Amino acid sequence: MDNRKKTWLIFHAKRFKFQVVNNKEKSKIILKNLNKIYPKVPIPLNYSNIFTLLISVLLSAQCTDVNVNNVTKNIYPKYYRPHHFVKLGRKKIERLIKRIGIFRIKAKSIFYLSKTLVEKYKGKVPNTYEKLEQLPGVGHKTASVVMSQGFGYPAFPVDTHIHRLAQRWGLTNGKNVIQTEKDLKKIFPKKYWNRLHLQIIWYGREYCKARDCYGITCKICKNCYPNRKKPIKTKKA
């Protein structure tokens, strides 16, 4: 082997020594790092039963979990069943949650959602995607969180943090949250979904923030793409 060819091989061997080439390898790196950082994963929203979980997730749209928890800590000790909110009525619900964004719309959803649960499901939260997504104000993400955290059903709810990090880690094209969910479900085994989606949320809040890292400085981004130099632009959820 001549010196020129030998030099070329050494250069490229060093260059690509730690280069991740596929999603399977990246998934191993991601799981290893997240399990090390978050061996026990705290649930961001406080709740006392599946119904209050549903309400908290509904309230968290366009609002921080911290703000939701600060509001609901004064509500749930007294109001924690669907019939409680039906009895309260929309106006009183509005007053209880007025510190939360778009509170009038959310109060309307909570009232009619509670009314539906009382009239159709005897006050119990249904445990299927189809029935959950038929409730007022409940979309696929909200239903996924309830199915995952409330009923223990394998689900992968995608929020803004997961959507951003999945793009930075090259696991999805970021077309929309529906596509991101499909892509992540294909890459990670189902047994990890419920724990993993929470781990990614916390990692996105603490290490790979929206206005930080940009796909080049946090540990997971560097491990997945050691040669990446330019910031990654991601599509919003």
In a domain, 234, yes or no: no
One domain, residues 143 and 60? yes
One domain, residues 133 and 199? no
In a domain, 233, yes or no: no
Report d(CA 49, CA 26) in Å as an integer: 36
In a domain, 135, yes or no: yes
**Domain CATH code at residue 131:** 1.10.340.30
- Domain residues for 99? 50-150
Residue in 32, 141, 175, 235 annotated catalytic? 141
What's the number of domains the chain is made of? 2
Residue in 159, 191, 212, 235 annotated catalytic? 159
Determine the Cα angle at 137 with ends 195 and 188, to 5°.
25
Main-chain phi, psi angles of 101, to 5 degrees: -55, 150
The contacts of residue 45 (CB under 8 Å, 6+ apart) are 53, 56, 57, 60, 65, 68, 69
E strands, the chain, are: none
Q: What does the pLDDT read at residue 12?
A: 43
Query: For 34-83, how does the pLDDT look when each residue is reduced to its tens digit (9 = 90+)?
Result: 999 999 999 999 999 999 999 999 999 999 999 999 999 999 999 999 99
What CA–CA distances, in Å, run from 62 to 97, 102, 160?
Answer: 14, 8, 10
Determine the Cα angle at 61 with ends 57 and 64, to 5°.
90
One domain, residues 120 and 136? yes
Query: For 86-111, how does the pLDDT look when each residue is reduced to its tens digit (9 = 90+)?
Result: 999 999 999 999 999 999 999 999 99
* The model's pTM: 0.88
159 annotated active-site:
yes
**Domain CATH code at residue 205:** 1.10.1670.10
